[in-house]
């Protein structure tokens, strides 16, 4: 049986991947809105456990084409250990076409382009990066542990290494107070990063998180639905990509969208403007259908 400790998370696009848990928890574990790994003490899993899980996957045969390395920021593992994992995957699961992982400014920042290139050569194809905001003040308030400039450096390093970069943004995470700055600076930072994939999610205030405590103290207020849509509109309108698949189709979003930018930028902005002008919340996804 595959060894899974605690609840396992993965990006929506890794739904069919074999989930290989190589770390437990998140080495940062401080983002104000996140409760995913609060019950887990971060630790790398022993090689013997990982190796046994790869054997379990080999026994399944080619039922999956991708592997996703869990938990929160498995890219934080030393390059040598990651290479060992990727090499074992390549040897024992030769049908695997891509390995993915969560990573951020810390984990990418610790690695040189050469190290990232070696990981790419060994099979690491995509890094999912929860940037959440390109606004430094918002990043500071949510204790994200990185700056907008570091997000830009992360994007450039991954591109130079040939690794696909998928960036996640959290609508509403700046609260009412920084809603406009969050949208404007996120658009500006994304433009400098120019990643091939951007996905937006909508902030949820999860009980027992620092964000919930901030809300209770009156220090954070989630913007109303149409203001969240305004943030989405301003991010799309203010960003400048060379080729980006832009998605707002996560279960948490009120208006599911997917578009290739820049080709569909004008049409997408026009659509969002129409919804905002109509101020008709009935076309937004009902609360009960948001998969949170
Ligand atoms: S880095 Fe990711 S997993 Fe870790 S606390 Fe922040 S949002 Fe949660």
Domain with residue 268: its CATH number is: 3.20.20.70
pLDDT in tens, 163-195: 999 999 999 999 999 999 999 999 999 999 999
pLDDT in tens, 43-93: 999 999 999 999 999 999 999 999 999 999 899 999 999 999 999 999 999
Query: Would residue 114 count as lying in a domain?
Result: yes
pLDDT at 286 over 60: no
The pLDDT, as a whole number, for residue 292 is 41
The range of the structural domain enclosing residue 30 comes to 12-289
Pocket of ligand 1 (CB under 6 A): 26, 28-31, 34, 36-37, 72-73, 104, 130
pLDDT at 24 over 70: yes
Residue 126 CA from chain centroid, whole number = 11
Q: What is the number of structural domains in the chain?
A: 1
Query: Would residue 30 count as lying in a domain?
Result: yes
Mutate to test the pocket of ligand 1, among 8, 25, 34, 146 (most ligand atoms within 8 A of CB): 34
The pLDDT, as a whole number, for residue 281 is 72
Tell me the pairing of strands 43-44 and 23-24.
antiparallel
Per-residue pLDDT band for 252 (boundaries 50, 70, 90) equals low
Task: Tell me the CA–centroid distance for residue 112 and ligand 1, in Å.
Answer: 22
CA distances from 9 to 13, 37, 71 (A): 12, 9, 7
User: CA-CA distance, 2 to 19, in Å (whole number)?
Assistant: 9
Query: Would residue 7 count as lying in a domain?
Result: no
Q: Which two tokens stand for residue 185?
A: 């600076």
Mean pLDDT to the nearest integer, 123-151: 98
The pLDDT, as a whole number, for residue 250 is 64
Mean pLDDT of the chain: 94
Query: Would residue 3 count as lying in a domain?
Result: no
List beta partners, residue 167: 129, 198
Query: Would residue 49 count as lying in a domain?
Result: yes
pLDDT in tens, 91-127: 999 999 999 999 999 999 999 999 999 999 999 999 9
Task: Tell me the CA–centroid distance for residue 26 and ligand 1, in Å.
Answer: 6
Name the residue among 74, 122, 81 with its Cα closest to residue 98.
Answer: 122
Tokens 């060992």 map to which residue? 84
Please tell me the chain's helix, strand, coil percentages from 3-state DSSP, rounded to the nearest 5.
Answer: 40, 15, 40
pLDDT more than 90, % of the chain: 87
- Residues present in the chain in total: 292
């Amino acid at each position: 049986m595959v060894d899974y400790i605690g609840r396992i998370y993965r990006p929506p696009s890794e739904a069919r991947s074999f989930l290989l848990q190589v770390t437990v928890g998140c080495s940062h574990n401080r983002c104000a809105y996140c409760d995913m790994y609060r019950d887990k003490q971060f630790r790398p899993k022993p090689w013997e456990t990982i190796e046994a899980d790869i054997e379990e996957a080999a026994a399944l045969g080619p039922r999956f084409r991708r592997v996703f390395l869990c938990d929160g920021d498995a890219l934080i593992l030393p390059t040598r250990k990651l290479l060992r994992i990727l090499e074992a995957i390549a040897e024992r699961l030769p049908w695997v076409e891509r390995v993915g992982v969560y990573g951020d400014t810390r984990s990418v920042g610790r690695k040189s382009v050469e190290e990232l290139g070696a990981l790419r050569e060994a099979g690491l194809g995509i890094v999912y990066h929860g940037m959440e905001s390109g606004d430094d003040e918002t990043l500071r308030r949510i204790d994200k542990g990185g700056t907008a400039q570091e997000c830009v450096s992360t994007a450039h390093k991954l591109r130079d290494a040939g690794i696909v970069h998928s960036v996640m943004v959290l609508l509403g995470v700046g609260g009412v107070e920084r809603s406009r700055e969050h949208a404007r600076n996120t658009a500006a930072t994304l433009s400098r990063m120019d990643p091939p994939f951007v996905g937006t999610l909508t902030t949820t205030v999860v009980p027992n998180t620092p964000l919930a405590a901030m809300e209770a103290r009156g220090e954070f207020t989630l913007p109303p639905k149409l203001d969240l849509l305004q943030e989405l509109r301003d991010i799309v309108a203010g960003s400048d990509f060379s080729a980006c698949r832009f998605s707002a189709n996560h279960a948490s979003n009120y208006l599911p969208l997917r578009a290739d930018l820049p080709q569909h930028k004008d049409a997408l902005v026009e659509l969002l403007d129409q919804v905002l002008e109509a101020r008709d919340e009935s076309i937004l996804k009902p609360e009960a259908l948001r998969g949170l």
